[in-house]
């Protein structure tokens, strides 16, 4: 009725979001299943919270976000409550631990996996929806809980295909850093902003280098684009105390502990942190997790403000080529730590908690970069349609194949052009095409075309080597499933 047709909607993913096809989905699922298996074996129970939380419950704990409430996707519902998509799996856990505190076992040990959403500027390989896979122990103040999670993290990485030697779990303790800050004159409630600047600066040491971090500890730093970032305002001597901390790693855990003990000097909180690190190292060693898997490393601080004790991070240590073809270390794929204050937000009571988050999408990218991903990419056997009036016959064939456990389908597009049917089979990575025209039907046979062998023959310079392996066979109709299975080599 209108004068011109309405504009058609654009078929586009929203900016910063993407779709995952075929093996991309099965690869991730296989990885999540493997990690869940490890978490389960360690005694963690699954929890699935909804994607939507009240903004009030989520709080403002996004890392590196100077402007709170930015960084999440939020909207106001019809009752004027603000709702938002979860930005991690820890905030919902804190809400659950508070909401069900009278019913849950204590300690409450749960794992969770699923997408989280960040309303941040998308970039190459940086999406606004990505998967996390977490395990946390809520209600245990024991460093044994932290040590266990570090061991479990190492187990998870090996389980998904990162061999020992290709990763390192690095452990540190925020209390040690707090002790160092105390010594550097950054104790006290009025210095919170400065401590935040110091934390974030140390966290960026790989990218900024020692000089960049030093600048941020002192007056500030101008980056290559000319933008100025305000520093923590430390005097030179104070800044060197903090810098000493970033380089405190020694060849053995014991030597690192000794060096840290020097650095924290008379700080009570610092000494407590060093003792905790020592205890974690001892527990891990007793279980056989040596420095080839887990090391103490004061360089690890984790940007998040809410950590209160041990922090840990898993790094992949092999080199990959970046988008510009330069070699670089793959870097961090998982991290976590102790956060004793998150549940207290709700209840007012101290609830010690510690946990890890594995960045599944990054880990998948790492495996792909090493050529080690293992998604299921075998397409279905395609039963072609030579005679559209005999669709029931072709459907009966796929029915038999499926009964025999073979992935199979009838070609459901327009059957007129047979070439299109073979092109379709090729696009689906189909291993076998089944063909039955009128002659075969009359003879009670079917033709099986080995498409994998066919593709190899097409690539090969000489046909000689293939001549004993026919890429096409005619078999009795009654032998269909058995003959296909034989061709599949199963």
Between residue 45 and residue 64, which ones bind its own copies under the rule CB under 8 A? 45-54, 56-57, 59
Q: What are the angstrom distances between the C-alpha of 325 and each of 112, 168, 322, 328?
A: 36, 24, 5, 9
Q: Yes or no: say if 401 and 381 are a contact pair by the CB < 8 Å rule.
A: yes
Question: Rule CB under 8 A: is residue 2 a binding residue for its own copies?
Answer: no
How far is 389 from 338, CA to CA, in rounded Å? Answer: 67
Give the tokens for residue 164: 């020992």
Is there binding between residue 75 and its own copies (CB under 8 A)? yes
From 35-43, 219-227, 308-316, 355-363, span contacting its own copies (CB under 8 A): 35-43
Element (H, E) at 226: none
Q: For residue 173, what is the enclosing H or E element?
A: strand 167-173
Smallest CA-to-CA distance from 290 within 282, 279, 298 is with 282
Told to check if 346 binds its own copies by CB under 8 A, we report yes
Is residue 136 part of the contact set for its own copies (CB under 8 A)? no
Please say whether the beta carbons of 175 and 275 come within 8 A: no
> Closest CB to its own copies among 413 and 444?
413
Strand blocks (E) in 279-352: 294-296, 310-321, 327-338
CB contact at 8 A, 256 and 250: yes
**Closer residue to its own copies, CB minimum distance, 243 or 363:** 363
Min dist CB 252 to its own copies, Å, is 18
**What is the spatial distance between Cα 202 and Cα 281, in angstroms, rounded to a whole number?**
23
Within 8 A by CB and 6+ apart from 464, the residues are none
Residue closer to its own copies (CB basis): 252 or 287: 287
Report, in Å, the least distance between residue 32 CB and its own copies. 10
Of 42 and 466, the one with the shorter C-beta distance to its own copies is 42
**304 near its own copies, judged by CB under 8 A:** no
**Does the footprint of its own copies cover residue 193 (CB under 8 A)?**
no
Nearest approach in angstroms of CB 438 to its own copies is 18
Q: Of residues 63, 65, 69, 119, which one binds its own copies by CB under 8 A?
A: 119
Helix axes 174-183, 192-203, angle to 10 degrees: 120
Query: Quick one: 370 or 402, whose CB is closer to its own copies?
Result: 402
* 5 or 124: CB nearest its own copies: 5
Binding characters for its own copies, 397-436, by CB under 8 A (x = yes): --x--x--xxxxxx-xxx---------x--xx--------
Binding to its own copies by residue 69, rule CB under 8 A? no
* Paired tokens of 80: 């004027």
Binding mask 378-397 for its own copies (x = CB under 8 A): -xx-x--------xxx-xx-
Q: How far is the CB of 208 from its own copies (least distance, A)?
A: 28
With H, G, I as helix, E, B as strand and everything else as coil, classify residue 181.
helix
Task: Select 37 or 209, whichever has its Cβ closest to its own copies.
Answer: 37
What are the structure tokens assigned to 213, written together?
A: 């971090």
Would you put residue 63 in left (φ > 0), alpha (ψ -120 to 50) or beta? beta
Q: Does 117 bind its own copies (CB under 8 A)?
A: yes
Q: Is 474 exposed, middle or buried (0-12, 13-18, 19+ CB in 10 A)?
A: middle
Q: DSSP letter at 119?
A: B
Q: Does 196 bind its own copies (CB under 8 A)?
A: no
By CB under 8 A, residue 79 contacts its own copies: yes
Site track 231-270 with its own copies (rule: CB under 8 A), x = hit:
----------------------------------------
Q: Does 13 bind its own copies (CB under 8 A)?
A: yes
Contact call for residue 282 and its own copies (CB under 8 A): yes
Cα four-point dihedral sign 36, 42, 43, 44? negative
Show contacts of 322-325: CB within 8 Å, 24+ apart.
323/124
Please enumerate in sequence order all residues whose Cβ is within 8 A of that of 194, keeping only pairs 6 or more positions apart, or say none. 186, 232, 233, 234
Site membership for its own copies, residue 99 (CB under 8 A): yes
Round to whole Å and give the CA distance between 35 and 133.
8
Q: What is the H or E stretch that residue 438 is in?
A: helix 438-443
> Nearer to its own copies by C-beta: 49 or 332?
49
- Return the range that interacts with its own copies (CB under 8 A); candidates 68-76, 194-202, 264-272, 447-455: 68-76
Cβ 206 to its own copies shortest distance, Å: 30
Tell me, residue by residue from 140 to 169, as one string, x for binding to its own copies by CB under 8 A and - for no binding.
xxx-xx-xx--x------------------
- Answer yes or no whether residue 34 interacts with its own copies by CB under 8 A: no
First to last CA, the chain: 60
Nearer to its own copies, 151 or 205 (CB): 151
Pick from 83, 455, 457, 473: which binds its own copies (CB under 8 A)? 83
293: contact with its own copies by CB under 8 A: no
Beta bridge partners of 53: 84
């Amino acid at each position: 009725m209108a004068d011109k047709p309405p504009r058609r909607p654009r078929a586009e993913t929203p900016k910063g979001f993407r779709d995952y096809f075929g093996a991309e989905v099965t690869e991730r699922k296989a990885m999540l299943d493997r990690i869940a298996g490890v978490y389960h074996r360690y005694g963690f129970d699954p929890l699935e919270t909804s994607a939507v939380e009240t903004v009030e419950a989520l709080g403002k704990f996004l890392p590196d976000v100077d402007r709170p409430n930015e960084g999440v996707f939020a909207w106001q519902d019809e009752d004027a409550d603000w709702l938002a998509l979860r930005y991690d799996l820890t905030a919902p856990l804190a809400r659950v631990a508070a909401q069900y505190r009278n019913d849950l076992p204590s300690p409450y040990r749960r794992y969770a996996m699923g997408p989280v959403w960040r309303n941040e500027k998308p970039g190459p390989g940086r999406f606004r929806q990505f998967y996390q896979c977490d395990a946390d122990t809520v209600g245990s103040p024991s460093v044994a809980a932290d040590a266990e999670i570090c061991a479990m993290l190492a187990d998870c990485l090996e389980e998904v295909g990162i061999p020992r030697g290709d990763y390192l779990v690095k452990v540190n303790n925020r209390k040690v850093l707090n002790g160092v800050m105390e010594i550097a004159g950054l104790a006290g409630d009025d210095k919170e902003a400065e401590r935040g600047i110091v934390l974030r600066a140390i966290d960026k040491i790989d990218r900024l280098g020692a000089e960049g971090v030093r600048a941020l500890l002192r007056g500030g730093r101008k980056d290559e684009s000319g933008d100025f970032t305000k520093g923590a305002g430390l005097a030179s001597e104070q800044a060197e105390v903090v810098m000493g901390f970033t380089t405190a790693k020694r060849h053995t855990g014991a030597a690192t502990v000794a060096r840290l003990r020097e650095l924290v000097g008379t700080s009570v909180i610092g000494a407590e942190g060093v003792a905790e690190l020592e205890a974690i190292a001892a527990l891990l060693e007793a279980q056989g997790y040596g420095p080839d898997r887990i090391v103490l490393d004061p360089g690890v601080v984790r940007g998040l403000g809410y950590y209160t004790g041990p922090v840990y991070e898993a790094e992949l240590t092999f080199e990959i080529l970046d988008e510009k073809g330069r070699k670089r270390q793959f870097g961090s794929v998982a991290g976590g730590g102790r956060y004793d204050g998150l549940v207290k937000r709700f209840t007012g009571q101290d609830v010690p908690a510690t946990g890890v988050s594995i960045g599944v999408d990054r880990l998948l990218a790492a495996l792909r970069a090493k050529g080690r991903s293992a998604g299921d990419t075998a397409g279905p056997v395609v039963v072609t349609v030579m005679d559209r009036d005999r669709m029931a016959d072709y459907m009966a064939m796929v029915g038999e194949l499926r009964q025999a456990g073979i992935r199979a389908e009838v070609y459901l597009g327009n059957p007129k052009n047979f070439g299109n049917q073979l092109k379709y089979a090729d696009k689906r990575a189909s291993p076998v095409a089944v063909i039955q025209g009128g002659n075969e039907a009359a003879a009670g046979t079917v033709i099986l075309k080995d498409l994998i062998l066919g593709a190899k023959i097409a690539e090969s310079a000489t046909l000689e080597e293939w001549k004993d392996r026919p890429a096409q066979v005619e078999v009795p109709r009654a032998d269909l499933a058995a003959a296909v299975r034989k061709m599949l080599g199963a």
